[in-house]
Structure formats: structure tokens, C-alpha cells
Amino acid sequence: MADCLFCKIIAGHIPADQVYEDEEFLGFKDIAPKAPVHILVIPKKHIANLEELEGEDAPLMGRLQLVLQKIARDQGLADSGYRIVNNCGRDAGQVVFHIHYHLLGGSSRLNLD
Ligand code: 5GP
Ligand code: ZN
């Protein structure tokens, strides 16, 4: 998707502070962190949001759960805990229309505003 910000990050056309990459997924620090640890985790496949998911994406999105777990562990959050947030559509305040999961941690008061 030529006009997608996160596709441009995946392609390396826009820099990002990456913390994880494999063939299917990318993890990078949110540019405006809302918690001491605020990582965005995305599939490299362009999917606009949860509403666009199809049955064939189920294995991919299942593997994403384990990537979230790995990144959380790598960030030292396994014991303290963490929150996963997905915003889908206008009323949720979705700004970037490439599906992404916010991984938030490092505080007992995780700000969702
Ligand atoms: P949304 O509201 O769509 O769920 O969240 C989009 C997130 O992307 C926001 O938390 C915002 O700070 C982050 N973001 C927007 N532009 C960039 C960027 O260019 N680089 C990075 N690393 N994060 C971005
Ligand atoms: Zn995209």
C-alpha cells in the first residue's frame, strides 16, 4: 500500500526504532509513547484493521500473539505485566490504517488516553 505509513516503515522508507523483526512481523517503538514501554507490533501484510481480517489470516494473527509475548518478555515485562490494545476504526481513534497492536508496560497505571 503506497500511502500507508506502516508499510513505508516495513519497506525502510521511513525510519523507526525497531525492537523486533522476522519474516512476518515488525515491532517498533511508538513515536509518542503513552507508557514507559510502548511498542507497536504489526504484521508485514497490509491489513487495514480488525474489520478487514479474513479467515485465512487466522494462523498469522495467532502467531502474532506469540510475537507479542516474546517482545513483552524481551522488554522485561513478563513478571510486571502489560496491556495489549487494538484500536479499530473511527470511534476507537484509529489513526494509522495498518493493523497494529499497542504493547504497553513499565507502569502500574497504563494510560489509554
Ligand atoms: P492508533 O491510534 O492508530 O491505534 O495508533 C497509531 C500510533 O502510531 C500512535 O500511538 C502514534 O503515536 C503512532 N505513530 C504515528 N506515526 C508514527 C511514526 O511515524 N512512527 C512511529 N514509530 N509511530 C507512529
Ligand atoms: Zn500498510
- 3 state SS of 51: helix
Q: Which three cell numbers, joined as nine digits, stand for 54?
A: 479474513
Cβ contact 102:85 at 8 Å: yes
Q: How far is CA 78 from CA 7, 26, 47, 58, 96, in A?
A: 29, 20, 28, 25, 28
Cβ contact 42:7 at 8 Å: no
- Judge if the beta carbon of residue 41 lies within 6 A of ligand 1: no
Cβ contact 44:38 at 8 Å: no
- Judge if the beta carbon of residue 16 lies within 6 A of ligand 1: yes
- Judge if the beta carbon of residue 30 lies within 6 A of ligand 1: yes
- Judge if the beta carbon of residue 35 lies within 6 A of ligand 1: no
Q: How far is the CA of 63 from the centre of ligand 1 (A)?
A: 22
**pTM above threshold 0.85:** yes
Span 25-38, mean pLDDT? 97
Which of the residues 13, 38, 46, 100 is marked catalytic?
Answer: 100
Proximal ligand: closest to the CA of 48:
2
- Neighbouring C-alpha atoms within 13 Å toward the C-beta of 68: 23
100 as an active site residue: the answer is yes
What are the tens digits of pLDDT across the range 38-90? 999 999 999 999 999 999 999 999 999 999 999 999 999 999 999 999 999 99
The b/e string for 37-53 (b: 16+ C-beta within 10 A; e otherwise) is bbbbbbbbeebbbeeee
What pLDDT was estimated at residue 110?
A: 79
